[in-house]
Structure 1
Amino acid sequence: MDKICFLVCQYGKEVNGGAEYHCKMLAERLVGDFQVDILTTKTINYHTFEPYYKNNQETINGVNILRFDCIDYSAEEHGKWRKKTKFPRKVRRNLFRMGLLETAANMNHIWDMGIKNEEMLLKTHGFYSPDLLNYLEANKDSYKAIILMSYVYPHTIFGSRIAPEKTILIPTVHNEGDIFRSIQTHLFTSVKHIGFNTEEERNLARKIFGNKMSESSILAVGIETEFENSISKTEIQKKFTLPERYLHYFGRICNSKMDKLIPWFIRYKEKFPSNLKLVLTGRLFQEKVEHPDIIYTGFVTDEEKIALVKNATLIINPSRNESLSLLLLEAMKLGKTVLVNKKSDVMVGHAIRSDYAAEPYGNEKDFQEKIRKHLEHPELNEESEIKAKNYVDEHYSWPIIMGRIKHLISTI
C-alpha cells in the first residue's frame, strides 16, 4: 500500500479550524487506500504557539500523526520581520487592484523582491518547525504524494521545496495581504498540482499568478453531518441555556472571521428588542464581549455542533475571506438558511449556484433587514431547505470528492 503524508500546522480532536478540519476529513477517508501520515506541530494556539500536545506520535481513526516541536516564538522578532516585508507585498497588491498583476505575472511569473526578508518572517513564525521539515527531507522518498494544507504557513512554503514533483497544494486562497508576497510566486508555480476548493478561488489565484501557475483542478471537500450519537433539542437547549430563537456562528472566534457580526448584532437588538440571541461556537481568539444576548459555547463536540446548527433560527457566516466555507456547506446540508457576507466572492458563488438557498447581505442595514425578514417569515427558511440540501449533495458528496483526490494521487 502506497504511503502519503499531509503537512498541516495543527491537527487533532481539539482543532476546529477550516483548513485543519478539511485535512482531517480527507486523511481519515484515505486510510483504506493509503498509509496516511500527518506531519504537524504540538500547538493549537495561534497567538502564543505554546505546546499543547505532549506525545510525538499518536493514531486517530487509522491516521498516523507525527507531532514536532516549533521554535521559541517571539512576537517582537516576528513583528520586526513583518514590517520589513511590507513594501514588496504592497507593490504586487496595488498591481492587482489596478488589474495589472495577471499581465505582469504572465510576463514574469517569478518575483524575488524582498524574498530573503519573507523567508525570515516565516522562520520566526510560531508554527515554524525545522524538525518537521528535516523529517520530511529524510523521508520524502517513502511518500507517493505530499499534500500541503493552506498556502500561508512555513511548513507549506519550505515543505514545497523538498519534493515539488510529488507535491499537491490545497492552498485555501483568500484575497489578503499574504497571498501577494513574492515567495508565493515560487510556491504556486513549482508544485505538481494545486487543488482548489471553488472556481472563484482558482480564478483569484490566476489573476495573481498568471498563466505559469501549476496545473490545477477543483478538489474541494465533502460534507459530514452524520455522527454516531445525536443530541436532542431539549438536551442542547439545557446544556447551553438556549432560547427558542437564536442566530448561530461556528468556527474560530476571531476578528478575521467574525468581521462586524458582534457590534452589528448588538445594535440590531437595541433597535429591535426581542428574545433573540447570538450563539458563538468555537475557540476564542479575541477578547470576549460580555453581553446578555451573546452566548459563548466554547469548543464543542461534532454532535453538539450539529444539534446547535439544527435548532438555530438562522446561521451566519460573516467572513469575507473564504476559499470554500465549511460552515456554510455544513449548515446547508442540514437544510438551514445561511446569511453570508456579500464581500466574499466564494460565498456569493455558492448562493447563486444554489438558487439563493444562502442569502448574501451587504451593509449593516441590509444585515438587519435580512434577519427581520427571516424571523417574520419562517416559511422562507422552509422553502430554501430542499434547495440547500440538493446543492450540497450534487457538488460536495464524499464519493465525488474522494474520486477526485484518489485519481489525482494516482497520477503523481
Structure 2
Amino acid sequence: MIATFVIPFYGENIGGGAETHCRRLVENLSFRGIETEVLTTTLRDLGTHWNSHYHNPGIYSINGVTVRRFSPRLVDTDVFVPINEKLMARQKISFEEEVFFTENAINSDELFAFIGDNQKDRIYFFMPYCFGTSWNGTRVAPWKSFLIPCLHDEGYADMIQTRRMFDRASGVLFNSAAEMSLAMEKYDGLKMTEVMLMGEGVDEVGTAYPEKFRKTYGLGDKPFIVYVGRRDVTKNTPFLVECFAKYKKNNPSSQLKLILMGSGSVQVPASVMEDTLDLGFVTEQVKRDAISASTALCQPSVMESFSIVIMESWRLGRPVLVHSACGPTSDHARASGGGFIFGDFAEFEDAVNRLLADSSTASEMGKRGQEYVEQNYSWGVICRRFKKLIESCGELVF
C-alpha cells in the first residue's frame, strides 16, 4: 500500500506549516519503511504567482521520497481575488461563487487523472483543506481519500464545498484536539466520516548557539521576544508589534527587544524601530540560535491547527506566549505548562513582566514544554499512528 500525499506546494526551503508538516511526515514514514509518494504541482509556494511555474513537470526524488509534479490549471485572478477577499473578511458568498473559487484555487487535471488511474494499492492523504487539490482531488476516489485539513476558523471553513469535502472523505485526521472540536462543531459532528486525532511530529533540534546569536546582533544580555513565521494580518503579527510598542511605552526603562523572523512584512512604529530587529527569512541554524537565546517565543496567531514553531521552542527549552483565541496553541500551553496565554495587552504585559522578573520561571516552563513534546509529538509516536492506519487500509478490499 502506497501512502500518497497530495498537496499544492512541496519542497525544501518553502514556508508554510502544512507544507513543512507534509514534507517531514512523508520523510519520516519513508525512513521507517512505509512506501510513500507525493503528488504536487509545479508551483513553488503560496507567495509565488500561481500562474508562474517554478518546477518542470515530472518525477523527482527529494530526500528519498518520490515526488510527482503536475502542471496546474491557469488561475483566473479576476474571479479568484475578489471572492478570496470576501472569504478573508468572513463575508457570505453564494454557492456559485464557491464553485468559481474552488475551481481557481490551484487544481491540476493531470494530477486528478493520475489519482483516477492509480487507485489499486494506494491511499491518498490530502492536505491542507483550503485548495482545489483537496476540494476537487477528494472527488476522484473519495473511498480511498483521507483529509488532513489543518483547519482554522476562517471563511474557507464555512463554505458548503468544504462541508461536503469533510463528509465524503473516508477519514479526517486532525493535528490537535482543538482542531477536531472545531470541525465537529462546524460540521454537525462529522457523522458521515471517520475522525482520528493523529497529531504532528516535531523534529529533534540540532545544536543551538545562543551566545553566538547575541554576539552577532549586538544584543549583549538584553532580553528579547522572538517571533518566527509569516508576517501578516492572518498571523496576527501586527497585534504582537502593537503590544510590544505599548509595553515599551508603559515600561520606558525596559531593555526588552523584539526580533522578527520569516517572510512577509509588518509595519513597525517609529517609537520602537530601534528596539525591533527584523531579520527576514533565516536559516534553520539562525532560527534555533535565536529561539534558544530568547526570553520567550511569541505565537500571536489565532489561526493555527497545531503550531510547529511553539514545539520547536519547547524542544530548545524556551517558553512560549500564545493567543487565547487560538484553541490548539492555548490547549498546548495549558496541557504542558510551558507558557503563558494572553488575549489583550494587559495579559501580554503581565506575562512578559513575570518572565523578566525571574529567569527560573522561563527555564522551568521551557523544561515542562520539552517533556510535553517528547511524550506526545516525537516522530516515533506519530509514525506509529500512521503506520497502523496505513496497514489497516491494506487489509481492506476497496
What residue number does 1:17 align with? 16
Which residue of the partner structure matches residue 296 of structure 1?
278
Give the secondary-structure state (helix, strand or coil) at the position aligned to 2:187: helix
Shift in alpha-carbon separation, 1:80–1:223, aligned structure 2, 3 A: closer
Provide the secondary structure at the position in 1 that maps to 2:140.
Answer: coil
Q: Which residue number in structure 2 is paired with residue 405 of structure 1?
A: 386
Code of the residue aligned with 2:61 in structure 1: it is T
Letter in 1 for 2:294: A
C-alpha distance in 2 between matches for 1:164 and 1:38:
18
Equivalent in the alignment of 2:68: 66
Percent identity over the alignment is 27
How far off is 1:174 after superposition?
1.3
The aligned residue for residue 111 of structure 1 is: none
**Structure 1 residue 351 displacement after superposition:** 2.1
Deviation per CA, 1:347-378, whole angstroms, max 9, x where unpaired? 22112212x22210121121122112211221
**Correspondence 1:79 to 2:64:** no
Q: How many residues align?
A: 384
In the alignment, the residues of structure 2 paired with residue 360 and residue 52 of structure 1 have an alpha-carbon distance, to the nearest angstrom, of: 41
Report the equivalent of 1:233. Answer: 210
User: C-alpha distance in 2, partners of 1:320/1:86?
Assistant: 14
1:351 equivalent in alignment to 2:333: yes
Match of 2:250 in 1: 271
Tell me the TM-score normalized by structure 2. Answer: 0.88
SS at match of 1:404: helix
Confirm or deny that 1:205 pairs with 2:183. Answer: yes
Deviations 1:167-214 (A, max 9, x none): 111111111111110011211111111111112111111111124241
Tell me how large the CA RMSD over aligned residues is: 2.6
Q: What CA distance in whole angstroms lies between the structure 2 residues aligned with 1:238 and 1:148?
A: 44
Distance 2:197 2:149 in 1: 11
Change (3 A) 1:238 1:377: closer
Q: 298-307 or 256-265: which moved more?
A: 298-307
**Deviation of the 1:411 alpha carbon:** 1.9
Give the secondary-structure state (helix, strand or coil) at the position aligned to 1:31: helix
User: How far apart are 1:156 and its partner, in Å?
Assistant: 0.6
Residue 335 of structure 1 pairs with residue 336 of structure 2: no
Residue segments in structure 2 that go unaligned for 5+ positions in a row: 394-398
- Relative to structure 1, the CA distance from residue 286 to residue 164 in structure 2 (aligned partners, 3 Å threshold; closer, same or farther) is farther
Q: Who is 1:3 aligned against?
A: 2
- Find the aligned partners of 2:285 and 2:219 in 1 and give their Cα distance: 16
Residue 366 (structure 2) pairs with residue 385 (structure 1): yes
Q: TM-score, normalised by structure 1?
A: 0.85
SS at match of 1:19: helix
Deviations 1:61-116 (A, max 9, x none): 1012222333444543213445788999749xxxxxxxxxxxxxxxxxxxxxx444
Tell me whether 1:34 sits opposite 2:34 in the alignment. Answer: yes
**Offset at residue 392 of structure 1 (A):** 1.3
Question: Which piece of structure 1 moves more, 77-86 or 66-75?
Answer: 77-86
- My pick for the range that moved more, 230-239 or 314-323, is 230-239
Is residue 2:115 matched to residue 1:141? Answer: no
Residue 372 of structure 2 is aligned to residue 372 of structure 1: no
- Contact 1:151/1:173 (<8 A) preserved: yes
CA contact (8 A) 2:102 2:131 kept: yes
Q: How does 1:84-95 map to 2 (within 5 A)?
A: 90=92
SS in 2 for 1:53: coil
Partner letter of residue 70 of structure 2?
F
Q: Gaps spanning 5+ residues in structure 1: where?
A: 92-113
Q: Which residue number in structure 2 is paired with residue 107 of structure 1?
A: none
Q: 1:289 to 1:55 in 2, by over 3 A?
A: farther
Q: Partner letter of residue 59 of structure 1?
A: S
CA contact (8 A) 1:89 1:180 kept: no
> Which residue pairs with 2:305 in the alignment?
323
Contact 1:40 1:66 in 2 (8 A): yes
* Cα 1:386–1:84 shift into 2, 3 Å: closer
Distance 1:297 1:88 in 2: 32
Q: Answer yes or no: is the 8 Å Cα contact 1:243–1:277 preserved in 2.
A: no
